[in-house]
């Protein structure tokens, strides 16, 4: 029988906003501070990368030719990536997809976002 209580294991959910690029979020766990030598992965581990898919607008976003700069989502001059590129990166990098607003009615049942994600996404 242990003489001291077992430490609690905390779990933290980091929500990095709707236009987040997944790779920099994941790389945060491997960055080691030069001054202290401490890295986030010394005290925490990354278990999942979740992408929340807005079922109401996913097809519109995948079909747009707007760039990130056009929408004011990225301020690096010369960045030619489109909103669709970012969405595809988010879908590809995630190991868990959360489909939001899937209760809304759709005009054509064959274009339901769940069908698209089921067809295109294979979890790691």
Instruction: Please state, in angstroms and rounded to a whole number, the distance separating the CA atoms of residues 5 and 9.
Output: 12
Per residue in 96-121, pLDDT tens?
888 888 777 665 555 666 666 666 66
The two tokens of residue 92 are 């590809």
DSSP category for residue 8 = P
The two tokens of residue 8 are 């609690």
DSSP category for residue 73 = S
Which H or E element spans position 118?
helix 113-120
pLDDT of residue 122: 63
Residues of the chain with pLDDT under 50: none
pLDDT of residue 35: 93
């Amino acid at each position: 029988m242990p003489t001291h209580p077992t430490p609690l294991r905390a779990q933290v959910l980091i929500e990095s906003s709707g236009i987040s690029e997944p790779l920099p979020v994941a790389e945060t766990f491997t960055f080691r501070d030069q001054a202290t030598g401490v890295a986030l992965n010394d005290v925490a581990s990354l278990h999942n990368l979740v992408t929340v898919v807005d079922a109401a607008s996913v097809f519109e976003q995948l079909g747009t030719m707007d760039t990130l700069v056009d929408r004011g989502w990225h301020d690096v001059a010369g960045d030619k990536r489109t909103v669709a590129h970012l969405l595809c990166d988010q879908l590809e990098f995630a190991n868990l997809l959360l489909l939001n607003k899937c209760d809304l009615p759709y005009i054509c049942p064959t274009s339901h976002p769940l069908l698209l994600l089921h067809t295109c996404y294979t979890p790691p």
